[in-house]
Chain A
Amino acid sequence: MPTYSFIIMNFRSIFHIRLQNFELQAERMLDAALKSRAVAIISAHNANGTIVAISPEAGQEGLCKGMKVSLARKMSQSTRLLPYNRSLYSRMHNYLYQTVARFSPLVEPAVFGQFYMDMTGMNGIYKNDLRAGDMISKRINEVVRLENHIGISSNKLLSRISTSVVPERIYKIDSGEESHFLAPLHSRLLPTSAQPAVERMLRFLFLRQVQDVQFVMLQESAAQAIFSRYYKPLAMEAKGMDTSAVQPLRKQDHIIEQTILPEDTNDEEKLCAIVRQMAGQVGFKLRRRSEIARHMNLEIHYTDGYRSERTGSLKINDEASVVRDCLELFFRANIRRNRIRTIIIDASKFQTVACQLDLFSPTETQHRVLAEALDHIRRKHGFTIIKTAA
C-alpha cells in the first residue's frame, strides 16, 4: 500500500534542463571561429591542469575529459586549449537562470548549464508538461541559441538521468514507468554507484545494468549484506525513486576578500602584508556592521592549483584581533613551500557584538579605540589611505 507522501511525490512534475557541453557552447557562442575547430576547455594552463570539456572534433583527436594538459598538448597540437573562464560561464548561467525562472517560481540552479524546475500544478497555464518543456526550450534558444535538453519526470533523479541519456530534446517519463525506463541503463548512472564501496561491488558482481541491480534488490537480505548502508539509497534509485525537493536559490550573507597576487610568491613577508591588508578590510566591514563573524575561512590557492584552507572564528572585531586571527589562519593554512597565487578570506555567520567589556584590560580598550580612529580616517579618505608598514 503506497504511502500518502509517495503518492504526492508521484504526481510531481520535475523538469531538468541541461545545456550539453555548456562551457564549450558558451565559448563558441562568443567566438564563432571556434565552431568547427577542435576545442578543449582546461582547468589551468600549467601542465598539471586537466581537460574539463571537449568538442567532438577534439575527441576525434584522441583527447578526453580528465586528460592532463601536458599530454593533450603533445597528442593534438591543432586543438585549441581554452582556460576555464569561470566569470563568463557564471554570467551566462545567471542569465539562463533568469530566463527559466519566468516559467516557474521554483527553480534550482545546479552546476553550470543545468537547472531543476518544479512545474507541479502548472498545467493550467501551459496545458501539459511537454508543451511547457517546448516553450522553455524555445525560449532558451531564442535568448542564447544554445542546444538544450529537457527531461520531465516525477523526480529530480529521473529527469537528470533522462537528459544525460535520451537523445530527444524533450522527454517525459510517465508516472509508473520509472523502473522500466531505468532497467536497460548502465548501473553507474545511479548516484550511489559513485561510492567506492558500491562501485567496487557492482563491478565485482558484474551488475552492469540497472535491471541487474533491481534484480539483486529483490533478494533483500542478500542485497542488504552486500551493500550494507548503501542498500536503501541504491534500492530507491534502482526503482527510480527520489524524494528530494527542488530548492530555490538561497543567498548567503558573506564578507569575502580575495587577492590575486600580482606575482606568484612564497615570500612570507609579502604574503603576511597582504593578509594583514585583507584582514583590515574584513575588520573594517565588520565594525561598520557592528558584528563579529562566527565563521572565518582562509583559503590559499597555490600556483599548481593545490588549495589549502583553514577555518576559525572572530570573537572581537577590532583591527589588531582580526589581523592576528587571520594571520594565525594563514600560517596554519600555508603548509607548503610552493608559490601562492590567490588568498581568499570568507567571513560568515555574523552575530551582533555583545561581549562584556573588561574594565581591567587596557590593551583591548586601546585596540578598540585605535580601530575606531582608523575607521574614522578611512571613512573620510578611503580605505587605502592607511597602509601597514610590514
Chain B
Amino acid sequence: MFTSLNTHSTFSKMRGTASLRDLLKHAVKYRMNHLALTEVNGIWGFIRFVQFAREFDIQPIAGVNLITDYDDVILLVENQQGYENMCRIISDVHDSRDVHVADLLKSRHDGLFVLAHEKHALAKLMQLIPATHLFVELRPGVEERTAKGLAKQFQLEIVATGDVYFISPEDQPAHKVLRTIEHNTTLTAIDPREVKSEAHYFRSEKEMATLFPNSLDAINNAQYLAERCKTDWQFLNTIFPNMDLKNTREASRKLRKLVYAGAEKRYGRLKMGNPIENRDLRIVNSEHRITNNNSSASSAVKKRINQELAIITEKGFAPYFLVVWDIVRQTNATIGRGSGAASIVSYCLFITQVDPLKYNLQFERFIHTERVDMPDIDIDFPWDERDDIIDYVFQKYGLHRTAMVSNQVFLQPRSAVREVAKVYGLSNEEIKVVTKRIGWHSRRSDLLHWIESDERFKNLNIDTTLKEILQISEKVIGAFRVSSVHPGGVVIVPDEIRKYVPVLMATKGVQILEWEKDQTEDSGLLKIDLLGNRSLAVVRDTLKQVGVYRSEYVDYHSIPSVGDPKTEALMQAGRTMGIFYIESPATRQLLAKAGKVDFEHVVIYSSIIRPAANRFTNLMLERIHGKAWKLPHPDLEFLSESYGIMVYEEQVSMAARVLAGFGYAESDYLRKVISRPALEHLVSAWRKKFISGMLKRGYNKKLALEMWAMVQSFSGYSFCKPHSASYAMLSFTCAYLKAHFPAEFLAAVISNQGGFYSAFAYLSEARRWRISILPPHINRSFKEYRGNKQRIRMGLMSIRNLKEKAVTQILEERKGADFSSLQDFFLRTDLDLADAMALANAGCFTELEREQSHQQIAFRIACHYLQDGEGEDILPSFGNKRLTHAEKIRLERESFGFPISEHPLTPWLPIFGGKIKKARDIPKYVGQTIQLAGVLITTKVTATRKHEPMEFITLEDETDIYECVMFPDVFAEYGDLLNWEKLFIIRGRVEVAFGVYTITIEKMGSMQRMGEKLMEKGISTSSVTAKGTGVWN
C-alpha cells in the first residue's frame, strides 16, 4: 500500500499544476484511502481540500512542505496540537525565510511528523525530535542508496514520497512555465534548481515500486505513517472573539439591555420596563415611532425582539452582536447589508437601518435554528472612514487576535495567456490582440479550441508559438498567483490567531490570513465585513453642507425619505443620477418605466436588476402596468409580493422547500450553488434534484422547468430581501437629499468620486437642475466641491496637476484670512511654480486681480517664482491681452479635463444648422427618424440571445441626457467609433416603451469630422454665432 504524503496542488504558489479535485480523483484511481496535502509554505487551500476529500471518500491529512533558505522538509499533522504548531511555524516562515527549520521546531514539534531528505537538516532535527516522529524522506531525485545511508547513520526509518507537483509527466512544461513566470525570466534563463523534473508526477504504488525497486518498505511506510496522522477534521464550532460561558452569559444580558434601549429610540417608548432617559435628540422625527397608546405595535416589537434574542442566546451569538455594535458605534453613518438587515436586534442596535417589522423581513434568512454556518453581518462605512474603523479593530483586539481576510488571486484564462505569452517573449501589443478578445470574465479553459473556432477570433493569426502558448495556458489556468487583502473582511479570535490559520503580512502592510473569505467562513472563523461605501460619505457630506449653508441640521437616522412626494417624483422621472444603486441607465429607465416607486417596489427593482434576469424584468413591467397575471400554482403564494416572479434569494430557498421538498439546510445550499461561481459545477446535479423533487410531489414538468428557469436567473449574483431593503433605504435617503438639496448632494457625489459617471456628467446633471457651476476660486473653493442652494463651487481637487500638498497649504493659510491680492498670496504661501501655474490656468486668481489680464497674472507668477526670491518682482509693461473664448476653453480643458464655460457641442452645432434636434424635444418625434448630437456619457456592451454584440449608449446634448441602443448590425458598423470619439451625430428612430424614450441608432458619425468636412465645403464657424442653448445659457 502506498499513500502520497508529499503532494502539491495549484495552491502551491506558481508551482503545482494539479487541482485538488484532480489529485483526489487520482488518489481514488490508485486506491489510496489517505492523501496528504503539503503545499509549499502554506495551507492555502486546506479547507477546500478537506471538503473535496469527503466527496471522494479520502482521508485528508494536513501537512506542509517547508522551504526556507536552508532546508526543505515535510511536516505532517498528528493531532490538533500539531496543526496549531504547524500554523505558527508557517506564519514564522512567512515572516522570514532566513531561518533553519530546526529552530522553528525547537519548541513546537509536538504533534508533528517530520520528513527530511538532507543530511544537514536531519542532523539538526535529530537533536529535537524523537525517532518515532522523524523520518528520512525518499523522494524523486534522492537516490535509494543515499536515503539508506542517512537512515543508517541517524537510526531512522525511510518513508517514500512522490513529491508531486503535477498529475502526469506531460504537465511538467506547464510547471516550468509557472516557475518562469514567478521568477520573471525566460524558459532558457530559469535556474534549473527552481524547476522540478518530469519525475515529480503523481505515481501509483506500482510506479513508485518501479522508481524505488529496493525500497518497498519505505513505500509501505508511507501508508503506515498516513494512518497515524489526523484526518477527522471538523469545522463545526464557530470561533467567537469571546467564547467562555461566563462572558457569553454576560454578553447576552448586556445585549438585551442595549436592544431595548435602542428599541426606545427607534420605536418610541415600549409598554414595558423603564423608559430609557438617554434619548438622542433628532431634529427630524421618524414617522414610524410608536405612540404610547399603540399597544399592539408595541407588543409586536417586543415579541420580535424576544424571539430573536432567544435564538441569539440559544446559539451563543450575543458576543458577536456586541462586537459589531461596538464597531458600528465608531461612526454615525453606516448601513448593514446582507441578511443581517432582517434582524430587529440589529436595527435596534443601529447596525442596520431598515425596520424589519414594517417591511416584513424574515429573521430566518439571517439566523435559523437549523442553520449550521455562522450568519454574517456586513456593514458599510463611509469609504474614507473604513481604514480608521479597521485600525480601531486592530488596536482594540490586538495584532495577535486579529487579521484581515485575504483575496486569493488565481490565473484566469486572460491572465494565464498574458503571463505565458510574456514568458515566450511576446510584446504587450501582440498579447493584447488575444487577451482583449478573451475578456475579463471569461471562464473558458479550452482556449485553443475556443480561439480556433469562435467568430470573435477570426482575424487572429494562430502560429505555432501562439498555439503552444494557448496549450500551456490551458494547463496553468487556476494556478494560485498571489494573495492580497480582502477589502473588508476582518477576523477576530479569542486567543491567538496564528494557531487557527497561518498569517502573513500583505504588501499593503496589513496582517492577512492565508484563506480567502469562503474558506475562512467554512473553517468556523468569525468574519466581519467592514466595507467602504461612497454613498454613505455622500450622505454625510451633503448633511454637513446643508448644516453649514442652510442651517438645517438633519440626522442621518431620521431622514423621512420614504413616502416623501418630492423624492418619489424624482425617482418616477428616472432622474436618479448620483443616487446610490439606482443611477445606472438601466435602473433609471426601469424606475421611469415602472412608474411605481414606493419603498417595496424599489426593493424589488434593486433585486431584479441583474444580468440573468432581463426577461423577468420585462415581464414584471407588463404586470405593473396592469397586464393580467396569476400565480403559476397556488403553492407559490410567497411570490405574490413580487408579481409572481422570483426576485429574492429567500424565494429560491422557499421554492426549494415548498415545491421540491428540500430541508432548510439543503434549500440554503441550493441558493449558494446558484449564486457562487465556485460551485457552478454542482448546478446540474441540483437542477436534477430540484426538478425530480417537484415531480415527486406531484407538480407537472412544465411548472418544474419554469420554476428552475427562475431559479437559474439568480446565477452570478443575487440578493436577499433584507439586503435589497437595506440598499433601497440608502437609495431613498440619497434621493431625498437630491430632491431637497440638489446642489449640496451633487457636489458631494462629485467630491467623493467613484460614481457611475464622470464629474463632467454630474456637472451637466447639476445644470439640468438649474444649478450654476462656479469655477475654482482661491478664496472660496475648498478641496472638495461645495454646494450651496443653487450653486456648486468647484473644489481645488478639480484642478489637474495641482498637488495635494499645495491644496493643504492654501486651506491652512486661509484659516487666518482670505488672500487679499496676488502679492498677498505670494507672501503667505510657499508653493512650486507648477502649482501656481495650475491655479492661474484654472482661473483661481481672476477675481482676486480683476484689473489684470490672465497674461499679466501669468507674468507676475512666472517672474515671482523664477527669481528665487531675489529682489523685487519685475512687473513687465506688457501682457494685457485678454483671453479669447477659444483660449479660455482650452485652459478649462487642460485644467479640468472638460470645458465649463460652454457645452462641448456648442462650437460645432451652428455648422449643422437646424437639422439637429434637441434631446428635450425627443418626445415630439415618436416613431420618426431624427438626427441628434451628443457627448458620450457612458456605454455598456452586451450580447443578444444569439451572442451577437450590441451596445447601450448614453449621450447628452445641452438640453438633456438620452439613451440609445445600437443593435448588432449597426454595432458592427459603428461600434469602433466609440473607442476614440466623444462627440457624435446620430440618426435614429425614436421609440417609446412604458413612457420612456430611447433612440434606436441607424447611423452614427464623428461630429468633429463631419463638422470639419462641412467647413471645408464653405460653411465657416465665423458666419454663425456659437451661442449656448438649453441649460448652458
Contacts and interface: CB of A to CB of B under 8 A. Distances in A.
Interface in B846-863: 854-855, 858-859, 862-863
Interface in B837-893: 837, 840-841, 854-855, 858-859, 862-863, 866-867, 874, 876-879, 881, 883, 887
B870 to A, nearest CB: 9
A206 B874 contact: no
Contacts of B879: 205-206
Contacts of B841: 204
Interface string A307-332: 00000000000000000000000000
**Category for how many chain B residues contact A:** 35 or more
Nearest to B840: A204
Contacts of B426: 303, 338-339
Of A200, A225, A264, most buried by chain B (CB within 10 Å of CB) is A225
A200 B1009 CA distance: 29
Contact of B887 (A200, A206, A304, A337): A206
A206 B188 contact: no
Nearest to A272: B188
Given A204-B837, A219-B876, A303 B186 contact: no
8 contacts: A48-B427, A62-B1009, A216-B878, A219-B876, A222-B876, A225-B867, A264-B425, A306-B427
Interface in B463-504: none
B862 A74 contact: no
B186 A337 contact: yes
A204 B878 contact: no
A297 interface: no
Given A216-B878, A219-B876, A337-B423, A204 B433 contact: no
A71 interface: yes
Contacts of A265: 425
A221 B866 CA distance: 11
A348 interface: no
Interface in B596-634: none
B427 A267 contact: no
B424 A339 contact: yes
Contacts of B863: 222, 225-226
A339 B187 CA distance: 12
B730 to A, nearest CB: 41
A47 interface: yes
Contacts of B429: 46-48, 70, 304
Contacts of A221: 874
B272 interface: no
Contacts of A48: 427-429
Contacts, number: 96
A228 B866 CA distance: 8
B854 A206 contact: yes
A71 B184 contact: no
B874 A337 contact: no
B862 A205 contact: yes
B979 interface: yes
Interface residues of A, number: 36
A337 B185 contact: yes
B422 interface: yes
Nearest to B189: A268
B1006 interface: yes
B430 A266 contact: no
A46 B883 CA distance: 43
Given A48-B429, A205-B859, A303-B425, 9 more contacts: A48-B427, A62-B1006, A71-B980, A206-B858, A206-B881, A266-B186, A266-B425, A337-B184, A338-B426
B189 to A, nearest CB: 5
Interface in A69-99: 70-71, 74-75
A215 interface: yes
B874 A338 contact: no
A222 B837 contact: no
Interface string A121-145: 0000000000000000000000000
Interface string A283-321: 000000000000000000011101000000000000000
A201 interface: yes
A226 B833 CA distance: 11
A204 B801 CA distance: 14
B882 to A, nearest CB: 10
Given A215-B878, A221-B874, A302-B427, A337 B422 contact: yes
A269 interface: yes
B427 A46 contact: yes
A303 B431 CA distance: 12
Contact of A74 (B428, B859, B878, B976): B976
B940 interface: no
A269 B188 contact: yes
Contacts of B423: 337
B980 A75 contact: yes
A338 B427 contact: yes
A201 B867 CA distance: 14
Contact of B862 (A226, A338, A340): A226
Given A46-B430, A339-B424, A339-B426, A226 B855 contact: no
A264 B433 CA distance: 18
A226 B422 CA distance: 47
Interface string A199-230: 01100111000000001100101100110100
B425 A337 contact: yes
B473 to A, nearest CB: 16
Contact of B979 (A47, A74, A206, A302): A74
B333 to A, nearest CB: 43
A49 to B, nearest CB: 9
Interface string A237-255: 0000000000000000000
A17 to B, nearest CB: 31
B874 A204 contact: no
Contacts of B862: 201, 204-205, 225-226
Contacts of B878: 215-216, 219
A29 B744 CA distance: 65
Given A204-B837, A215-B878, A337-B422, A268 B188 contact: yes
Minimum-distance CB pairs A-B, first 6:
A266-B425, A304-B427, A339-B425, A268-B188, A222-B874, A47-B429
Interface in B418-477: 422-430, 432-433
Contact of B430 (A75, A215, A304, A306): A304
A219 B877 contact: yes
A206 B894 CA distance: 14
Nearest to A331: B189
Contacts of A200: 837
Interface in A21-74: 46-48, 60, 62, 70-71, 74
A304 B425 CA distance: 10
A164 B883 CA distance: 28
Nearest to B1008: A62
Of B837, B841, B1013, most buried by chain A (CB within 10 Å of CB) is B837
Interface string B964-1003: 0000000000001001100000000000000000000000
Nearest to A206: B855
Of B186, B432, B867, most buried by chain A (CB within 10 Å of CB) is B186
A70 B980 CA distance: 12
A228 B833 CA distance: 14
Nearest to B879: A205
Contacts of A222: 859, 863, 874, 876
Given A225-B874, A228-B866, A303-B430, A267 B859 contact: no
A220 B380 CA distance: 61
A268 B422 CA distance: 15
A306 to B, nearest CB: 8
Nearest to A49: B429
Contacts of B876: 216, 219, 222
Contacts of A216: 876, 878
A48 B426 CA distance: 13
Contacts of B188: 266-269
Interface in B384-434: 422-430, 432-433
Nearest to A302: B427
Interface string B998-1028: 0000000010010001000000000000000
